[in-house]
Amino acid sequence: MYGRDLDAVAPPPGHYCADCDPQLQVHVRRSTANPSSTWTELTCHSKCQLPDHLSYIWFNNNKPVGRRKYFHLRHVDAEDSYHCAIEGQERFPSPTVYAPKPPSVSVSPSGEIMEGSSVTLTCSSDANPAAHYTWYKGNRALLQGPEGIYRLSSISSGDSGVYSCKSENQYGFNSRSLQLDVRYAPKPPSVSASPSGEIMEGSSVTLTCSSDANPAAHYTWSKEDEDSPTASGQNFTITNITAEHGGKYQCEAQNTHGRSYTTFHLTVGAGKSVIIMNTIRCTLVVVLVPVLVWTLWTRMKKTLSLKSEVNEAVEMIELDNCPEDENIAAAAQTEDTEEQEDLV
């Protein structure tokens, strides 16, 4: 199996025949049947039928290296270049063939790249035969072709990264990389608490806010219903927590391209001392209320009993006093009668 054949551009014509332009060309044939024993064959030929007795000279980096029509190479260095000429006519050489030089890569438009814009990556390399280009992101091939132009429309944050261009022909390859840096406003941040879950009174907690942004975001913390910011920085630590620290906290992430925020609810539970006091209070309520009720009931019962005894005593006294009153009244009436009789 052989690679494709490609003729290089010819040099100025010679004078071997009147009706033919004997342009010398280097014909390249590369074997790829066995990767462990690949070789490249260079042939010096012309479109004209040249005499068989002509001798050819091969040049490697402008130095003579052989005198034959065919030149075999086991290995080609990227810095090597080859051309041929007819002996005695060295001033009419073939075009020089060589592996691609290190390519130049560029980004258009240049400068800061904003999310949502369109970007064109361009790769070009000096090579003969002409180079074939492949664009990669990481190990993933994006585009292969003879032009070396790769376009990204409506670029996103995920398109950031290192891109490399490989230029290759039958003699070898070369490559170069570039960093694509896409700028964008902060994405909606996420907030986490350490320790997580309900925070007990008297303990400490650290709230952490993070947002995907380029350039990196600046963070500001604020508490619900408070006008001024509570703190700044990605981490916000609260020590010796009280019940007043509970509530909603807002984290705002901001850079030069925009801002975004999220809300986190901090739940504060009663501490051990508060629990103990509440337990004591509940115990006192449970124990003392029945005792108080019983005491009041007992006192009320005694009061009612005493009132009943007093009433009975009064009634007895009244009953005991009634006969005497009647006798006194009768005696008084008798005396009155006697006095009236004496007057008569």
Cα dihedral sign for 61, 64, 65, 71? positive
Q: Which of 278-282, 289-293, 326-330 has the highest mean pLDDT?
A: 289-293
Residue that has been written with the tokens 């003879």 in this structure: 146
Q: Report the alpha-carbon distance of residue 38 to residue 338 in Å, rounded.
A: 174
Percent residues over pLDDT 90 in the chain: 40
Q: Which of 235-249, 281-295, 329-343 has the lowest mean pLDDT?
A: 329-343
Reported confidence tier of residue 333, pLDDT bands at 50, 70, 90: low
When the pLDDT of each residue in the chain is averaged and rounded to a whole number, the result is 80
Could you give the angle at the alpha carbon of 184 between the alpha carbons of 182 and 187, nearest 5°? 130
Bridge partner list, 25: 45
pLDDT, one tens digit per residue, over 155-170 is: 999 999 999 999 998 8
Residue 163 and residue 177: Cα distance in Å, rounded? Answer: 6
Q: Looking at residue 301, what is its pLDDT?
A: 75
Q: How would residue 236 be classed by pLDDT, with cut points 50, 70 and 90? A: very high
Contact present, 318 and 325 (Cβ < 8 Å): no
Phi, psi dihedrals of residue 190, rounded to the nearest 5° = -120, 145
DSSP state of 78: T
pLDDT band at 6; cut points 50, 70, 90:
very low
Q: Which residue has the higher pLDDT, 336 or 150?
A: 150
pTM greater than the 0.75 cutoff: no
Q: Is the pLDDT score of 227 beyond 80?
A: no
Residue 274 scores a pLDDT above 60:
no
Residue 183 pLDDT > 80, yes or no? yes
pLDDT tens by residue, 36-71: 656 778 888 787 777 777 888 889 888 988 888 878
The region, left, alpha or beta by phi > 0 then psi within -120 to 50, assigned to residue 88 is left
pLDDT score of 192? 94
209 is written with which tokens?
Answer: 């806010």
